[in-house]
Structure 1
């Protein structure tokens, strides 16, 4: 993989990840104002969870026509976020970030009362374009291209982990208008959070308690049980297994777990990265065949925090969809939204059988 770092017109960093040697010299000719992020985080005293305020994102790009897509390569008279005329995989700083290295200010509290702590939303948000093909999708990538994406994720996880104040790195992909995607070009994002996220914090607490009682990692035991029974396994390789979690919350819900405990993507060795590409493409193609249409989904990497409890982390990818039938969505109703108690309309075994049959 060849890595080239350049700058956009407003100073943001853009990184090209090429599968063959290429010279990247195109210049961003746009007249762009400097990014003015004003993110703030507030600690909810009732839940103990940080909430981000990013009002400047109200003006971000929203469903542009295909010929004005900001993630396509630049063309004569139509410059985009990527100055080059083609690319393999590219990563650049988000123009409308939820968290930014350039946020100013000092820690304080709401109204100066000390009850609700506040702090600048310092972190970093990046966009990852998987292909220059506007009409493509992750499921249509070649295994070699997926490997390039994995290497880019690993590179950026290491890069964001070194950013001052970043406590957790979260690569993810949102696909489909039903999910809320406003740019249809195949892409994902990477967040460098200034705190450990609530979901990760809870998972680490569970992992610690399980290890204290059993001397083993809970995800390792779940993985072993799923591979043993096979009732919910969707796809399996030499180094990865994809299965529907035994307490699945969503109408389509899959975990991809490496057989070896590693804290994050950079810790994967070459064979594990190659095997992931094969297993993940198998899962995605089954997902798209499930309803004979592109499945809207969120694919979320669960990585260990940057500085704390890394020994309790076990890297895995969680993919889930709100589509419960070809033309029906699962909405979060009162129980899910109000009390965080999920009620699934299908059993994990039924979900797994449907995905296996879709193959």
Structure 2
């Protein structure tokens, strides 16, 4: 399928409390109200990080997050466009598709002050946290975006990553979505988040190490060999767009874990061509719809977008999206218990080949 080029429009604003807001759209941005903020007071976040000597990783502490909004009624939805100026939300009224703003309750900030006192190996929580609002429709879901809007979202993630890379402080960017109260969502309005780290977190570091090892041993990018192997096997492929595909990986930790992969190995979203980005977007939407149709309920899930570290070019790193659905069967949650939390090794109730076959059989009509 050949893509139709969609121009991307964006406009920058500053909220009354000083936080930046960027609106993105497929049409020119039109704002019909004042730029709001739930509070005019500047955010006073002082996040701290402490080193875990046995796990070799940082732990973030952000006490101010205890006051963040928790499952408000619809009339107090902070991610909806402001309806009443006396009760401002995070977003203005107007014509736009997506919005990105600095999180009011961040776990990391670029200007985090050096902590006073504390144990050894304590430092400022330097980084950034952004909220990505997928739609003005409070009752919607990510899968309800049009193909063009889904492609726009990929472009927005790429744009935010490029901005962080240009600043010279951030080394790793993770875009993600938590969906469902089962996974701890505190706002139902469809949205995701972006965490930008001034260091390489453990998962990104391990992925990079393993991708480097594969490239050193074979001379090939891991993603190229993986896609070729999975296409040849066929039994774990859920949907194949040609330029992108979705699979239940042979090493799936969650029962219906689904990966979205570009057919051509790239390391960053910004490296996708227009056609590749559109195919990637359609494949992601297809995967989300299948998960919701599987048991006839909105599947609680965690979605993570994995891109290469930003400290240097890493062509061996595999760009991909991972979906972790939290239902292992109808009405049955997957909980991370003893072996997952204590040993770091997952127990899965179903082979990936069986799960992929079930997802392929799903009918997407009227989902």
- TM-score, with normalisation over the residues of structure 1? 0.94
What does residue 158 of structure 1 align with? 162
Is the counterpart of residue 38 in structure 1 residue 46 in structure 2?
yes
CA distance in 2, matches of 1:182, 1:124: 20
Q: Secondary structure at the match of 2:66?
A: helix
What are the superposed Cα offsets for residues 167-193 of structure 1, whole Å, 9 maximum, x if unpaired?
Answer: 101111111111111100011011111
1:74, 1:85 within 8 Å by CA — same for their partners in 2?
no
What are the superposed Cα offsets for residues 26-66 of structure 1, whole Å, 9 maximum, x if unpaired?
Answer: 32355421101111112222121111111111111110111
Deviation of 1:253 after TM superposition, in Å, equals: 0.3
Is the counterpart of residue 103 in structure 1 residue 112 in structure 2?
yes
Aligned residues: 354
What does residue 76 of structure 2 align with? 68
TM-aligned CA distance change 1:109 to 1:207, over 3 Å: farther
What does residue 11 of structure 2 align with? 4
1:8, 1:27 within 8 Å by CA — same for their partners in 2?
no
Q: How does 1:16-31 map to 2 (within 5 A)?
A: 16-24=23-31, 26-28=33-35, 31=39
Q: How does 1:129-148 map to 2 (within 5 A)?
A: 129-148=133-152
Q: Where does structure 1 lack aligned partners over 5 or more consecutive residues? A: none
What does residue 210 of structure 1 align with? 214
CA distance in 2, matches of 1:86, 1:65: 24
Q: Secondary structure at the match of 1:351?
A: helix
Is the counterpart of residue 52 in structure 1 residue 27 in structure 2?
no
Of the three residues 81, 87, 91, the one matched with 2:90 is 81
What does residue 265 of structure 1 align with? 269
What does residue 351 of structure 2 align with? 347
What does residue 100 of structure 2 align with? 91
1:4, 1:24 within 8 Å by CA — same for their partners in 2?
no
CA distance in 2, matches of 1:337, 1:310: 30
1:44, 1:51 within 8 Å by CA — same for their partners in 2?
yes
Q: Secondary structure at the match of 1:223?
A: helix
Deviation of 1:104 after TM superposition, in Å, equals: 1.1
Deviation of 1:86 after TM superposition, in Å, equals: 5.0
Q: Where does structure 2 lack aligned partners over 5 or more consecutive residues? A: 1-7
Task: Please provide the CA RMSD for this pair.
Answer: 1.7
2:36, 2:91 within 8 Å by CA — same for their partners in 1?
no
Deviation of 1:311 after TM superposition, in Å, equals: 2.5
Of the three residues 3, 12, 20, the one matched with 1:13 is 20
Of the three residues 149, 153, 156, the one matched with 2:153 is 149
1:86, 1:132 within 8 Å by CA — same for their partners in 2?
no
Of the three residues 192, 196, 200, the one matched with 2:200 is 196
CA distance in 2, matches of 1:164, 1:26: 35
TM-aligned CA distance change 1:109 to 1:253, over 3 Å: farther
CA distance in 2, matches of 1:23, 1:290: 38
1:161, 1:192 within 8 Å by CA — same for their partners in 2?
no
Deviation of 1:85 after TM superposition, in Å, equals: 4.3
Deviation of 1:212 after TM superposition, in Å, equals: 1.8
CA distance in 2, matches of 1:70, 1:182: 11
Instruction: Name whichever of 84-93 and 292-301 sits farther off.
Output: 84-93
